[in-house]
Amino acid sequence: MNRQDRAKQFMPFAALKGYEEALRRRESSPEPRIVLGEDGAEELDRKLRSLSVGDSVRVRHYRRRGYVITEGTVSGILYHKRRLKVGQEEIRYDDIAELEIL
């Protein structure tokens, strides 16, 4: 066996494939939540009140560690839970940063 092949036997290897990447993702800091001012909150409230089931919307909302955009048809407005249902996803009113009625 030549010297290079023999050296390869002792090289480090990743026993847990993807473990380093998962640690880096976990260590990254979450995106801070947006706090709506009084005007922004009133505008969002007005839009939520004007919604009906079947309306098409684009919602920018907080999910887990950052903001995502969900686009689709309003399938439910759960006033008692303070949630908006777009397709199969339930979005808390408090997580909504922007709402656009399409």
How much is the pLDDT for 7? 67
The whole-number average pLDDT for the span 48-69 is: 92
pLDDT in tens, 69-97: 999 999 999 989 999 999 999 999 999 99
Query: Hey, where are the domains in the chain?
Result: 3-101
The whole-number average pLDDT for the span 56-67 is: 91
How much is the pLDDT for 69? 93
Query: How big, in percent rounded to 5, are the helix, strand and coil portions of the chain?
Result: 35, 35, 30
Q: Quote the tokens at residue 89.
A: 């996803």
24 pLDDT higher than 80: no
